[in-house]
Amino acid sequence: MIDFEKFVKYSKPGPRYTSYPTAIEFGEDFTYDRYIQKLKSQKDSSPLSLYFHLPFCRSACYFCGCNVVFTSKDDKKVRYIDYLKRELDILKEVLNTKREVIQLHFGGGTPTFFSASQLEEIIEAIKEVFPNFTADAEVSCEIDPRFLTKEQMEVLAKGGFNRVSFGVQDFEPKVQQAVHRIQSFEETKKAVDLAREFGMKSVNIDLIYGLPYQSFESFEKTLDMTLRLDPDRLAVFNYAHVPWLKKTMRKIDETTLPTPDVKLQILKHTIDFFTANGYKMIGMDHFAKPEDELFGAIEKGELHRNFQGYTTKGGADLIGIGLTSIGEGEDYYAQNFKEMSEYEEAIDNGKLPFWRGVELSRDDKIRKAVIMELMANFGLDIKRIESEFGIDFKEYFKDALKELEEFEKEGLVTIDGDKITVSETGTLLIRNIAMPFDAYMKKHKESKKVFSKTV
Residues 322-329 have a mean pLDDT of 96
**Measured CA distances, 320 to 120, 283, 342 (Å):** 20, 24, 16
pLDDT band for 119, please (50, 70, 90 cuts): very high
The DSSP bridge partners found for residue 335 are 326, 356
**Measured CA distances, 180 to 9, 64, 149, 165, 259 (Å):** 31, 10, 22, 20, 21
DSSP 171-239: --HHHHHHTT----HHHHHHHHHHHHHTT-SEEEEEEEES-TT--HHHHHHHHHHHHHT--SEEEEEEP
pTM for this prediction = 0.92
Cα(396)–Cα(402) distance, rounded to whole angstroms?
A: 12
Cα(139)–Cα(379) distance, rounded to whole angstroms?
A: 29
Cα(454)–Cα(7) distance, rounded to whole angstroms?
A: 11
User: pLDDT tens digits for 257-282?
Assistant: 999 889 889 988 999 999 999 998 88
User: pLDDT tens digits for 442-455?
Assistant: 877 666 556 767 66
Q: Domains in the chain, start-ordered, CATH in brackets?
A: 18-321 (3.80.30.20), 362-438 (1.10.10.920)
* Amino acid 308: pLDDT: 67
Strands 280-282 and 286-288: antiparallel
Cα(438)–Cα(372) distance, rounded to whole angstroms?
A: 11
**Using an 8 Å Cβ cutoff, are 143 and 164 in contact?**
yes
* Amino acid 75: pLDDT: 95
